Structure 1
């Protein structure tokens, strides 16, 4: 099955008309000869003076100030744009993460307590008694991903060996099967840790053992908030593509069928009635993010009728 020209046109029209300027510039960069500089300029608008990212770059928490979690979102895009370690945006972001590290707890806190003062999804609520938000139930998220950015951008950091060892130890502590977001954080570390073959081997082996139980392979449930194949194999060059080749193809066909008539792909979650007006804005931002992501996967798998 292919995404038809009608489907493509609808998706493009939605992105150009309703997505955030960031997704608009990323779309034109990836598909219409837009410039990397324009995309970077839009990404920069989410970066604060301290080098961290905030300003609702992750639409589910509307925090202006920087947080390690929002900074990982910014660095995901910076990595995708192939920014180098000496790019000012990257240098500032890594400097922020260095300052944000909690030496005593050996952790980056996903979000600060002030997230409670702004509209946010329930899972981002900061539990002051526990000292972390609902998302941060293990060390993995976002810490494993952050260690990956040090391997990618700052291999000379004197703490990197210690942090990598910590990541490998924490990986052995994760429940089996590994939870979706924990898996994705370690997968991002795996993709970045090209300078340590032993660690790369251990991470790949551990993730591979969990993959088929972590991923939901039931198409009837793919409209729910589950771990879907394309999240783990968004393109044929993904580390786990060979394990999920059949499932990825099935999901691509399913996604083509469930594209909204207005062109977007809909998030499979909501804020459960909280902050209703803000959720409407966040929901639309997610539609833009998910639509761009889906178009890129469809394109990577050769599923767009051009």
Structure 2
């Protein structure tokens, strides 16, 4: 309990709470969009670099392949579980259930970055190659969501005249979305540069990292709370599922981490990936591929409910469970 309280009271999480509280109080506090975007780019580059650096120092571990394969399978499979719950409990139509379910199989980069910072502050930082697992888990859920929404793989692609589908190729949006490209690229740079190459830029990407994360989470707290205030189609059952589905996914991640023999930090990071819900890459893909799906619903659930839940409650909870059971 003491460790959980310490994590909840960390500046990283408290800055998010501050942003949310300010938005609910209708304060004029704001983080300019371009500043928030710049902080996001910085955080993606920093976490990718540090992951590549750790791998360059320790080498590729044998667990990396098994965890990466498990992440791929879960990213594809978890939307099916979410789809069943959304259809049975929220009574969503197949189009919207598939669109929402895709968010809960993919990953939130910001949730992962925050989780890594919290785990490192607790002294149980995950393996550096978890950045690569994150990248692997981004895409399969999008494919699953489209299959569930449309009932076939045949309609996934460049389709202009098919009802519910956008004009441009979904594959470009899936494979070349900015955060994952930057993460993977920075990971490769850290891997190639090694400790000697990283040393000159360490003051920027290591010493300033936690402070930049605090400011970014302040902006995310403002955004999440304002999105929740503006939500029109959000019902109590949607709020409930936006909390329950991440918990179920985290439990699945914990079981896989236990079977693979992962240490607490890496296992907690895997739980965080399984429990997180994408609110950047997947919404962009869904708006492109399924423009008739209710964007207000899937954004409200993933960004306004699941993201704050994971930041404030989920990450400390997953870290505590992993420390005790793994």
Q: Same fold (TM over 0.5)?
A: no
Greater length-normalized contact order (CA 8 Å, ≥ 6 residues apart): 2
Q: Which has the larger share of helix? A: 2
TM-score normalized by the length of structure 2? 0.29
TM-score normalized by the length of structure 1? 0.30
